[in-house]
Structures are given as C-alpha cells and as structure tokens.
Amino acid sequence: QVGVADTVNFLLEHEGESLLARQVNGPELARVRTTFVTPGGFDRAAEVLDGHRVVILYGVGAGRTFAGLRMLEQHGCARIVHLNRARRLGSVKGTELRSGDGYLWDFTDQGMRPFQADEFEHTAQLVTGTADCHLVIVVGELGQIPGGAGRYSVELKPPDALAIATADIRRQQESGD
C-alpha cells in the first residue's frame, strides 16, 4: 500500500507541470529513419495508430520507443514530442494538444498500473478530437494496460539483432562516426 500511496502523491505533486517534456530533434529523427529495424507486430501497431490515432505498445526488448518514434515520423507529424512522465494520463487538457503533433508517452517505469481505463479513454478522446494528432503510449507488459484499452494495445517482438547492428554500422559509415 505504501508504494501505491507514494506513486499517487508523486503524480499529484506534478499535476501542474507542463505536459510536454521534450521535442524530438532532427538528429534523433535522422537516426530513426536510417537505423530503424521493424520489430514483430509493427505493422499491426501502425494499423491501430492509423485507425484510432492512439496505440499502446508493450513487449520488453522490442524497441518500443524507437518503434513509436518511427510510427509518428511516418505519419508526417509537424513535431514529435515526448510527454512528461510525471503527469497522469487523466490530467491532459485539450488545450495542451496541438493539431498535427505526434506524442510519445513512456510509462514503463510507472508501476503495475500506470493509468486507469477512464484516464485512457479521456485522453484518447482528446487526441481523436484534435486534428491530425497521434499518441503512442509505451508500457512494459500487457498487465500494465487496463481493461477496455485492449483494442488499442499491440505487443511488439524484438527485431533481428544482426539487422540492428548492420543498420547501425551502415549509419556510422555513412556519417563518418
């Protein structure tokens, strides 16, 4: 019970903080474009994002964050922004979202149930109500996803390690690193 109370208190303390943590920069996007290796389940996740504009990715060791960045980059988002881990999913206000933006929210280190179903539905409605807005949520495992959000969730499987190494070596050779 103490761990749950500590998490709730932490989140309540950070309620007033900015939703936006950091915008993804040009070199980061260039790395995604040049070294991304498709994990298992990526195409299904992209379909969910296309259909709902929100997807939840899980699957340890699958490059979920990198895959999320790639999906948002493929959607041609005006900007891609990491969202503040200290904020609760249910605390999002419509005025904090911008048309054309892609958002990545990583909840992997937020405990067993980082958000509730009603918080997810609230934010999903705000995202779909904002023109050309997309949200990728990253969690560690299926058990972190509340009931009712299952249709938005996709398990990613690790991509081939040799293909990842080859892509990174090619990028280094081309950039002179």
| Amino acid occupying residue 160 | D
CB proximity list for 166: less than 8 A, separation 6 or greater: none
What is the spatial distance between Cα 66 and Cα 56, in angstroms, rounded to a whole number? Answer: 13
CB atoms within 10 A of CB 104: 23
pLDDT digit string, tens, across residues 87-137: 999 999 999 999 999 999 999 888 777 899 999 999 999 999 999 999 999
Q: What is the pLDDT of residues 11-45, one digit of tens each?
A: 445 456 899 999 999 999 998 988 898 999 999 99
| Conformational region of residue 176, where left means phi above 0, alpha means psi within -120 to 50, and beta covers everything else | left
